[in-house]
Amino acid sequence: MTRYIATCKLGLESVVAGELRRLGIEPERVEDARVTFLGDAAVMARACLWLRTAERLLQEVAAFEARSFDALFEGVRAQNWKQYLQKDSFIHVNGKSAKSKLFSVTDCQSITKKAIVESLRASYHTQVLPETGARVIIEVGILRDVVTLALDCCGAGLSRRGYRTYNVTAPIAETLGAAIMLLSRYNAELPFIDPMCGSGTLPIEAAMLAQNRAPGLNRAFAAEAWPFLPGGTFVRAREEAMDSIVQTKVQILGSDIDPHSIDLCKKHAKKAGVMLEWKVCDLNALQTGWENGLIACNPPYGERMLERREAETLYRDMRRVFDGLPGFRVSVITSHRDFEKVYGKRADNRRKLSNGGIPCTLYQYFRD
Answer yes or no whether residue 288 interacts with ligand SAM by CB under 6 A.
Answer: no
DSSP E strand stretches across 79-235: 90-98, 135-143, 146-152, 192-194
Question: 4 or 301: whose CB is closer to ligand SAM?
Answer: 301
| Least distance between ligand SAM and beta carbon 217 (Å) | 20
Nearer of residues 12 and 111 to ligand SAM, judged by Cβ: 12
**Amino acid in the structure at residue 46:** R
11: region left, alpha or beta (phi > 0 left; psi from -120 to 50 alpha)? left
Report the nearest approach of ligand SAM to the CB of residue 236 (Å). 32
Residue selected from 298, 334, 361, 364 as contacting ligand SAM according to rule CB under 6 A: 298
Closest to 122 measured CA to CA, from 81, 180, 92: 81
CA angle centred on 288, ends 188 and 168, rounded to 5°: 75
Site size for ligand SAM (CB under 6 A):
21
Rounded Cα–Cα distance for residues 90 and 87 (Å): 9
Q: Which of 105, 170, 188, 229 binds ligand SAM (CB under 6 A)?
A: 170
Stretch that binds ligand SAM, among 19-27, 93-101, 164-172, 359-367 (CB under 6 A): 164-172
Among 224, 314, 319, 321, binds ligand SAM (CB under 6 A): 314
Containing H/E element for 37? strand 34-39
Of 191 and 198, the one with the shorter C-beta distance to ligand SAM is: 198
What minimum distance in Å lies between the beta carbon of 173 and ligand SAM?
A: 8
Nearby residues of 255 by Cβ (< 8 Å), 6 or more positions away:
193, 194, 195, 196, 197, 262, 278, 279, 280, 281, 286
CB of 253 to ligand SAM, least distance (A): 12
Which residues are at the interface with ligand SAM (CB under 6 A)?
A: 168, 170-172, 195-199, 201-202, 256-258, 261, 282-283, 298-300, 314
